[in-house]
Structure 1
């Protein structure tokens, strides 16, 4: 696999990981909950763990390709966190904004 293909695959993995907490009622897509809906604090915790996991995978790939990690400051990780939030936007919209519609297509009134 070339480096260009690897970059695209890694980007798609980041997008999938950012949206996973919003599209499933299970924790990490594996562990079922006893509740009918997953609370937001669990979604947020799951999202932060997936951010750290994807960062670790990226660091492992960088180490394998280049032999060492390029030193990064706090700004790099801060920007990375917000980029991960941008990747999660479709899942957020699907769960919280489009989830307000009934099966008949009518929108429920805002409370």
Structure 2
């Protein structure tokens, strides 16, 4: 795998992972929440979505680290790297946030 393909793969993975908490009511897209009443869908709390976003940030970071290590030398990351990638990941989550909270849903 060359550098360009690995870079685009990480970007696509980050875009999908950043929007996943907002696109489904299941935790990490896999684990359904317990229902209090039958027939009534339970909605995820905003803190659960933020926790998912944080965990998925580290999952994407681990995938990027693995791809980087397969290509060649792994560069050391300092605080400036994380000061840039965290806001970038949150920015990638903006379409999902808009779809979940700002778009008017018909019922």
Q: Place the TM-score, normalised by the shorter chain, in its bin.
A: 0.7 to 0.9
Q: State how many pairs are aligned.
A: 101
CA distance in 2, matches of 1:5, 1:61: 10
Instruction: Give 2:86's aligned residue.
Output: 81
The partner residue of 1:49 within 49, 55, 59 is 55
The answer to whether the 8 Å contact 2:10/2:63 transfers is no
Give 3-state SS (helix, strand or coil) of 2:100's partner.
helix
- Report the TM-score, using the length of structure 2 for normalisation: 0.86
Report the Cα offset of residue 7 of structure 1.
Answer: 1.9
CA distance in 2, matches of 1:60, 1:102: 39
Q: Could you list the runs of 4 or more consecutive aligned residues of structure 1 that deviate by over 4 angstroms after TM superposition?
A: none
Deviations 1:70-90 (A, max 9, x none): 112111012100000110000
**What are the ranges of 5 or more consecutive residues in structure 1 without an aligned counterpart?**
105-111
Root-mean-square deviation over aligned CA pairs? 1.5
**What are the ranges of 5 or more consecutive residues in structure 2 without an aligned counterpart?**
36-41
